[in-house]
Amino acid sequence: MESHTSSNESPARTEILDVVLIGGGIMSATLGALIAALQPDWSMALLERLDRVAAESSDPWNNAGTGHSGFCELNYMPDASDPGKAAEIASMFALSRRFWAGLADRGALADTDFVTATPHMDVVFGERDVAYLRQRFETLRALPAFAAMEYSEDPAVIAGWAPLLMAGRAAGEPVAATRYEAGTDVDFGSLTGKLVDSMTAAGGQVLTGREVTGLRRDADGVWTVTGRDRNTRERFTVRARFVFVGAGGYALKLLQKARIPEVRGYGVFPVGAQFLRTDNPEVVARHEAKVYSQAPVGAPPMSVPHMDKRVVEGEASLLFGPYATFSTRLLKHGRLSDLFTTLRPTNIVPLIAAGLQNLPLVGYLIRELLSSHRRKFAQLQRFYPEADPADWYLVQAGQRAQLVKPDPRRLGVLTMGTELVTGADGTIAGLLGASPGASTAPAIMLDLLNRCFPQHHSRWAPALQQLMPDASATQEPTVKLAV
């Protein structure tokens, strides 16, 4: 992957930029591309601590590449009669696709080959889960966005959809599946690079190897961002009127350095993941889908097993997982001391409370850490009975920093989604949490524009409507355009 670095020269210390983006992942890239389209005269710089953009969670092998749209993610709909979260995610992903297409139409994206058509499926086993999936299907298909979803309890039909799932499976076990043919696999690394390119084409700078270590707001209202060049070891300083912290697992500690009260009491709980991967073309050719299932009884929602067709740089593979791992690093390329640098007197109690309320998660992580390769492979064989160990190998995926928030009744709660945090004066914002952030990045960034730049609403609305037709009609309130 290219470095997408337009310049390695930091802005002059006396120069005040309009926007600084911290972190070179999908979130900063999306915001940078949006601002470049709406306000090309603004000065902007992106700071990334590694030597290329999209090297952490946005790297295609650090995530499953699912274009999250609510069709196959059972954890978005634990109550089979409540479609709210699934419908919200579907609406937000539809907005993402309109945004990418809009950029491509105006020549800001070279192409859209980062999206590959890949059906989205669910498959469940046993009478209880079959009854759940049947009700979920009946609930969702009443919504226009889900009208094309298919359902079957016929093993022959399911075998036609996903041959690997049914070959060699014992007869008589209750099984059911749903299928949405128009699902997607997304190479978020390639997408991030293309979005960054659109930003640099409008004059933005991308500075790699820059690790931010300080963030403060000065008396004149301008933010001073300080850090070091990881290659030369020299210090750097950048000043900006607006700062976005899209630094993944490092976002909280940078927002803490900024001393904004909005993150008081917030903490993070790091969870990593491994996947089994195969590149055997004969196996890969027999699985044209992303297939999700139910998490084991007692396991947390993040453990939902899935077997995914992946297409990265034109090459197809299959991934199965996730298998949870634990490290005190907050980024895959972070440090073992990371977690401890986020501890504050105000977040110790929320972290302890969240841990005590999530003992099943703690137990699950312990079991996963102690799990042998043989046991992990047995979980794959539950999906794919004829899987050959010789075809599969373990790969380490990305690192998530799940958000822990203070709560007046429960002291602390562990959240599984993403949260946009904005300073009261609108001059700083950051994104905390994990999935399904990448798939919903444009909706999140529209929310940011609404919160942090309300004075530009009337001027930007026509351009946004042209870039993302019908964006103002989306079902998610936080992404409605203020016209």
pLDDT band of 171, cuts 50, 70, 90? confident
Structure tokens at 83: 């479609």
- The pLDDT assigned to 13 comes to 63
Neighbours of 443 (CB within 10 A): 25
Average pLDDT of every residue of the chain: 91
Neighbours of 14 (CB within 10 A): 7
- Enter the DSSP assignment of 330: S
Structure tokens at 334: 């972070």
- The pLDDT assigned to 302 comes to 63
pLDDT digits (tens, 9 = 90+) for 19-49: 999 999 999 999 999 999 999 999 999 999 9
Q: Which residue has better confidence, 479 or 329?
A: 329
Residue 372 has pLDDT above 70, yes or no: yes
Residue 384 has pLDDT above 60, yes or no: yes
Under 8 Å between Cβ of 15 and 25: no
pTM above 0.85, yes or no: yes
Under 8 Å between Cβ of 453 and 440: no
Helices (H), 328-409: 338-341, 348-357, 359-370, 373-383
pLDDT band of 451, cuts 50, 70, 90? very high
In whole angstroms, what is the distance from residue 28 CA to residue 87 CA?
25
Q: Which amino acid type is present at position 385?
A: P
**What is the three-class DSSP state of 162?**
coil
In whole angstroms, what is the distance from residue 197 CA to residue 54 CA?
12
> Span 99-107, mean pLDDT?
93
- The pLDDT assigned to 365 comes to 84
